[in-house]
A = this chain, B = another copy of it.
Amino acid sequence: MAATPAAAVPTHPVRAAYFVSDSTGITAETLGNALLANFPGFVFRKHTIPFVDTVDAAAGVARQIAADDAAGREPIVFTTAKNPAVRAVVTAVPATHIDLLSGHLGELEQALGTTASEQLGQFHMLGDTTEYFARMRAVEYAIEHDDGQSARALDLADVIIVAPSRCGKTPTTMYLALQYGLLVANYPLTDDDFPAEGLPPLIAKYSARCFGLTTTPLRLSQVRHERRPDSRYSSLAQCTTELRRAEKLYARNRIPFLNSSTKSVEEMSAVILQTLGLRR
Protein backbone atom coordinates (compact mmCIF):
# COMPACT_ATOMS: atom_id res chain seq x y z
CA MET A 1 0.00 0.00 0.00
CA ALA A 2 1.40 3.40 -0.94
CA ALA A 3 2.09 5.88 1.84
CA THR A 4 -0.39 8.74 2.08
CA PRO A 5 1.21 11.80 0.50
CA ALA A 6 2.15 14.43 3.07
CA ALA A 7 -0.08 16.99 1.39
CA ALA A 8 -3.16 14.96 2.36
CA VAL A 9 -2.53 15.53 6.07
CA PRO A 10 -4.69 18.50 7.11
CA THR A 11 -2.49 21.41 8.13
CA HIS A 12 -3.43 23.33 11.27
CA PRO A 13 -2.55 26.99 10.93
CA VAL A 14 -0.31 28.17 13.78
CA ARG A 15 -1.11 31.35 15.69
CA ALA A 16 0.65 32.87 18.66
CA ALA A 17 -1.61 33.62 21.63
CA TYR A 18 -0.57 35.88 24.52
CA PHE A 19 -2.24 36.13 27.91
CA VAL A 20 -1.13 39.45 29.37
CA SER A 21 -2.04 40.26 32.97
CA ASP A 22 -1.16 42.78 35.66
CA SER A 23 -1.58 40.03 38.24
CA THR A 24 -1.10 36.23 38.20
CA GLY A 25 -2.40 35.67 34.66
CA ILE A 26 -4.83 33.02 35.87
CA THR A 27 -7.97 34.88 34.80
CA ALA A 28 -6.51 35.74 31.38
CA GLU A 29 -5.38 32.14 30.89
CA THR A 30 -8.65 30.59 32.02
CA LEU A 31 -10.93 32.67 29.81
CA GLY A 32 -8.45 32.88 26.94
CA ASN A 33 -8.08 29.10 26.85
CA ALA A 34 -11.86 28.63 27.06
CA LEU A 35 -12.23 30.91 24.02
CA LEU A 36 -9.44 29.33 21.98
CA ALA A 37 -10.84 25.84 22.62
CA ASN A 38 -13.65 26.75 20.22
CA PHE A 39 -11.21 26.82 17.31
CA PRO A 40 -9.88 23.26 17.16
CA GLY A 41 -8.65 23.76 13.59
CA PHE A 42 -5.78 25.94 14.82
CA VAL A 43 -2.61 25.30 16.76
CA PHE A 44 -2.00 28.07 19.30
CA ARG A 45 1.49 28.76 20.65
CA LYS A 46 0.58 30.12 24.06
CA HIS A 47 2.52 32.55 26.26
CA THR A 48 1.37 33.79 29.66
CA ILE A 49 2.97 37.03 30.84
CA PRO A 50 1.99 37.86 34.43
CA PHE A 51 2.68 40.93 36.60
CA VAL A 52 2.65 43.48 33.76
CA ASP A 53 1.76 46.41 35.99
CA THR A 54 4.00 49.23 34.77
CA VAL A 55 4.38 51.03 31.46
CA ASP A 56 7.98 49.76 31.29
CA ALA A 57 6.88 46.16 31.70
CA ALA A 58 4.18 46.74 29.09
CA ALA A 59 6.79 48.10 26.65
CA GLY A 60 8.80 44.89 27.09
CA VAL A 61 5.73 42.79 26.35
CA ALA A 62 4.93 44.92 23.32
CA ARG A 63 8.45 44.34 21.95
CA GLN A 64 8.12 40.58 22.51
CA ILE A 65 4.78 40.44 20.69
CA ALA A 66 6.03 42.63 17.84
CA ALA A 67 9.03 40.30 17.36
CA ASP A 68 6.83 37.17 17.26
CA ASP A 69 6.49 36.32 13.60
CA ALA A 70 4.29 33.20 14.11
CA ALA A 71 4.58 32.23 10.46
CA GLY A 72 3.66 35.74 9.38
CA ARG A 73 0.27 35.71 11.08
CA GLU A 74 -0.89 38.30 13.57
CA PRO A 75 -0.73 37.14 17.21
CA ILE A 76 -3.84 37.13 19.38
CA VAL A 77 -3.42 39.05 22.61
CA PHE A 78 -5.79 38.58 25.55
CA THR A 79 -5.34 41.31 28.14
CA THR A 80 -6.67 41.70 31.68
CA ALA A 81 -4.57 44.71 32.75
CA LYS A 82 -6.68 47.35 34.52
CA ASN A 83 -4.28 50.29 34.18
CA PRO A 84 -5.24 52.26 31.02
CA ALA A 85 -1.62 53.35 30.40
CA VAL A 86 -0.45 49.72 30.49
CA ARG A 87 -3.27 48.68 28.15
CA ALA A 88 -2.48 51.51 25.76
CA VAL A 89 1.14 50.37 25.37
CA VAL A 90 0.20 46.72 24.85
CA THR A 91 -2.63 47.42 22.40
CA ALA A 92 -0.43 49.71 20.27
CA VAL A 93 1.24 46.57 18.84
CA PRO A 94 -0.31 45.26 15.61
CA ALA A 95 -2.23 42.17 16.79
CA THR A 96 -5.76 40.94 17.40
CA HIS A 97 -6.42 42.45 20.82
CA ILE A 98 -9.09 40.99 23.05
CA ASP A 99 -9.73 43.01 26.17
CA LEU A 100 -11.17 40.58 28.70
CA LEU A 101 -11.69 43.00 31.56
CA SER A 102 -12.18 46.69 30.91
CA GLY A 103 -15.29 46.43 28.71
CA HIS A 104 -17.07 44.35 31.32
CA LEU A 105 -15.83 46.67 34.08
CA GLY A 106 -17.56 49.52 32.24
CA GLU A 107 -20.80 47.52 32.12
CA LEU A 108 -20.55 46.85 35.86
CA GLU A 109 -19.77 50.49 36.66
CA GLN A 110 -22.93 51.50 34.88
CA ALA A 111 -25.04 48.82 36.60
CA LEU A 112 -23.70 49.61 40.06
CA GLY A 113 -23.64 53.37 39.58
CA THR A 114 -20.06 53.72 40.78
CA THR A 115 -16.53 53.58 39.43
CA ALA A 116 -14.27 50.58 39.84
CA SER A 117 -11.85 50.80 42.73
CA GLU A 118 -8.35 52.06 41.95
CA GLN A 119 -6.94 49.23 44.04
CA LEU A 120 -6.04 46.08 42.22
CA GLY A 121 -8.71 43.40 42.28
CA GLN A 122 -8.17 41.49 45.47
CA PHE A 123 -9.63 38.19 44.31
CA HIS A 124 -6.30 36.43 43.82
CA MET A 125 -4.67 38.26 46.72
CA LEU A 126 -4.30 36.67 50.06
CA GLY A 127 -6.11 39.45 51.85
CA ASP A 128 -8.38 37.19 53.78
CA THR A 129 -6.35 35.25 56.33
CA THR A 130 -9.38 33.13 57.18
CA GLU A 131 -9.58 31.86 53.62
CA TYR A 132 -5.85 31.13 53.63
CA PHE A 133 -6.12 29.05 56.81
CA ALA A 134 -9.15 27.21 55.42
CA ARG A 135 -7.28 26.21 52.27
CA MET A 136 -4.13 25.22 54.13
CA ARG A 137 -6.15 23.12 56.56
CA ALA A 138 -8.11 21.53 53.70
CA VAL A 139 -4.96 20.54 51.79
CA GLU A 140 -3.43 19.06 54.93
CA TYR A 141 -6.62 17.18 55.72
CA ALA A 142 -6.68 15.81 52.17
CA ILE A 143 -3.08 14.59 52.42
CA GLU A 144 -3.72 13.00 55.81
CA HIS A 145 -6.86 11.23 54.59
CA ASP A 146 -5.56 10.22 51.19
CA ASP A 147 -6.28 6.62 50.28
CA GLY A 148 -8.05 5.83 53.55
CA GLN A 149 -4.78 6.35 55.46
CA SER A 150 -6.45 7.84 58.47
CA ALA A 151 -9.86 7.33 60.04
CA ARG A 152 -9.20 10.22 62.41
CA ALA A 153 -11.60 13.14 62.11
CA LEU A 154 -13.59 11.49 59.33
CA ASP A 155 -16.65 13.00 60.97
CA LEU A 156 -15.32 16.42 59.89
CA ALA A 157 -15.27 15.50 56.20
CA ASP A 158 -17.50 17.53 53.87
CA VAL A 159 -17.10 14.83 51.23
CA ILE A 160 -15.79 11.26 51.23
CA ILE A 161 -14.86 10.07 47.74
CA VAL A 162 -15.25 6.31 47.43
CA ALA A 163 -13.86 4.22 44.56
CA PRO A 164 -11.65 1.31 43.59
CA SER A 165 -7.95 2.11 43.29
CA ARG A 166 -6.99 4.41 40.35
CA CYS A 167 -10.42 5.81 39.49
CA GLY A 168 -9.29 9.41 40.05
CA LYS A 169 -9.97 9.93 43.77
CA THR A 170 -6.75 11.71 44.69
CA PRO A 171 -6.62 14.54 42.10
CA THR A 172 -10.32 15.28 42.58
CA THR A 173 -9.90 15.32 46.37
CA MET A 174 -7.00 17.74 46.10
CA TYR A 175 -8.83 20.02 43.66
CA LEU A 176 -11.85 20.33 45.96
CA ALA A 177 -9.57 21.04 48.93
CA LEU A 178 -7.45 23.63 47.18
CA GLN A 179 -10.12 25.47 45.19
CA TYR A 180 -12.96 25.39 47.69
CA GLY A 181 -11.31 24.78 51.06
CA LEU A 182 -13.49 21.70 51.59
CA LEU A 183 -12.44 18.86 53.89
CA VAL A 184 -12.31 15.87 51.57
CA ALA A 185 -11.35 12.34 52.53
CA ASN A 186 -11.17 9.43 50.15
CA TYR A 187 -11.71 5.74 50.69
CA PRO A 188 -10.35 3.01 48.40
CA LEU A 189 -12.68 0.05 47.83
CA THR A 190 -10.70 -3.19 47.88
CA ASP A 191 -11.55 -6.87 47.64
CA ASP A 192 -11.93 -6.84 51.44
CA ASP A 193 -14.96 -4.56 51.11
CA PHE A 194 -16.87 -7.20 49.09
CA PRO A 195 -19.12 -9.14 49.00
CA ALA A 196 -20.60 -7.20 51.92
CA GLU A 197 -23.89 -5.58 50.96
CA GLY A 198 -23.39 -2.44 53.00
CA LEU A 199 -20.78 0.27 52.96
CA PRO A 200 -17.44 -0.45 54.65
CA PRO A 201 -17.89 0.06 58.43
CA LEU A 202 -15.44 2.98 58.53
CA ILE A 203 -17.62 5.15 56.28
CA ALA A 204 -21.08 3.58 56.74
CA LYS A 205 -22.36 6.22 59.11
CA TYR A 206 -21.27 9.02 56.76
CA SER A 207 -23.12 7.69 53.70
CA ALA A 208 -24.89 11.02 53.09
CA ARG A 209 -21.49 12.61 52.44
CA CYS A 210 -20.13 9.83 50.25
CA PHE A 211 -19.69 10.21 46.49
CA GLY A 212 -18.59 7.29 44.30
CA LEU A 213 -16.37 7.19 41.23
CA THR A 214 -16.33 4.59 38.52
CA THR A 215 -14.66 4.36 35.12
CA THR A 216 -14.52 1.97 32.18
CA PRO A 217 -12.71 -1.37 32.69
CA LEU A 218 -10.42 -0.64 29.73
CA ARG A 219 -9.36 2.74 31.07
CA LEU A 220 -8.87 1.42 34.60
CA SER A 221 -6.74 -1.38 33.25
CA GLN A 222 -4.60 1.13 31.32
CA VAL A 223 -4.15 3.38 34.35
CA ARG A 224 -3.29 0.45 36.63
CA HIS A 225 -0.91 -0.90 34.04
CA GLU A 226 1.15 2.28 34.47
CA ARG A 227 1.62 1.38 38.11
CA ARG A 228 1.91 -2.42 37.97
CA PRO A 229 2.30 -3.74 34.43
CA ASP A 230 0.96 -7.21 33.62
CA SER A 231 -0.39 -7.87 37.10
CA ARG A 232 -3.65 -9.39 38.26
CA TYR A 233 -4.38 -5.89 39.65
CA SER A 234 -4.22 -4.34 36.16
CA SER A 235 -5.92 -7.20 34.29
CA LEU A 236 -9.10 -6.38 32.41
CA ALA A 237 -10.94 -9.19 34.23
CA GLN A 238 -10.05 -7.85 37.68
CA CYS A 239 -10.90 -4.26 36.70
CA THR A 240 -14.26 -5.34 35.26
CA THR A 241 -15.14 -7.22 38.46
CA GLU A 242 -14.13 -4.41 40.80
CA LEU A 243 -16.02 -1.75 38.86
CA ARG A 244 -19.16 -3.89 38.64
CA ARG A 245 -19.07 -4.54 42.39
CA ALA A 246 -18.43 -0.87 43.19
CA GLU A 247 -21.34 0.30 41.04
CA LYS A 248 -23.62 -2.24 42.74
CA LEU A 249 -22.46 -1.04 46.14
CA TYR A 250 -23.17 2.60 45.24
CA ALA A 251 -26.64 1.76 43.90
CA ARG A 252 -27.57 -0.40 46.89
CA ASN A 253 -26.51 2.31 49.34
CA ARG A 254 -27.84 5.25 47.30
CA ILE A 255 -24.39 6.77 46.92
CA PRO A 256 -24.38 9.16 43.96
CA PHE A 257 -21.58 8.36 41.54
CA LEU A 258 -20.13 9.28 38.18
CA ASN A 259 -17.93 7.82 35.53
CA SER A 260 -14.55 9.56 35.56
CA SER A 261 -13.36 8.21 32.21
CA THR A 262 -14.45 11.18 30.10
CA LYS A 263 -14.40 13.87 32.76
CA SER A 264 -11.75 16.29 33.87
CA VAL A 265 -10.92 16.89 37.52
CA GLU A 266 -12.72 20.25 37.23
CA GLU A 267 -15.88 18.64 35.85
CA MET A 268 -15.96 15.93 38.50
CA SER A 269 -15.51 18.54 41.21
CA ALA A 270 -18.36 20.66 39.82
CA VAL A 271 -20.69 17.62 39.70
CA ILE A 272 -19.79 16.61 43.27
CA LEU A 273 -20.44 20.13 44.61
CA GLN A 274 -23.75 20.31 42.80
CA THR A 275 -24.92 16.80 43.77
CA LEU A 276 -24.07 17.12 47.46
CA GLY A 277 -25.41 20.66 47.58
CA LEU A 278 -22.13 22.18 48.80
CA ARG A 279 -21.57 25.90 48.48
CA ARG A 280 -18.61 26.91 46.38
Contacts and interface: CB of A to CB of B under 8 A. Distances in A.
A274 B50 contact: yes
A35 B262 CA distance: 32
A177 to B, nearest CB: 8
B126 A264 contact: yes
A133 B136 CA distance: 25
A105 B119 CA distance: 29
A35 B50 CA distance: 17
Interface stretch (A38-46, A203-211, A235-243, A248-256): A38-46
Interface in A16-59: 23-27, 29-31, 33-42, 48, 50-51
A130 to B, nearest CB: 12
B132 A264 contact: yes
B170 A108 contact: no
A264 B116 contact: no
A190 interface: no
B80 A34 contact: yes
Q: How many copies does the complex hold?
A: 2
Contacts of A104: 31, 35, 98, 100
A197 to B, nearest CB: 31
Contacts of A267: 23-24, 124-126
A100 B107 CA distance: 11
Interface residues of A, number: 77
Nearest to A112: B39
A87 interface: no
A233 interface: no
Interface stretch (A61-69, A138-146, A151-159): A138-146
Contacts of A224: none
19 contacts: A15-B112, A26-B270, A27-B30, A29-B280, A30-B30, A31-B104, A34-B80, A34-B121, A34-B123, A36-B108, A38-B116, A39-B117, A42-B112, A98-B104, A103-B103, A139-B171, A143-B143, A143-B170, A171-B178
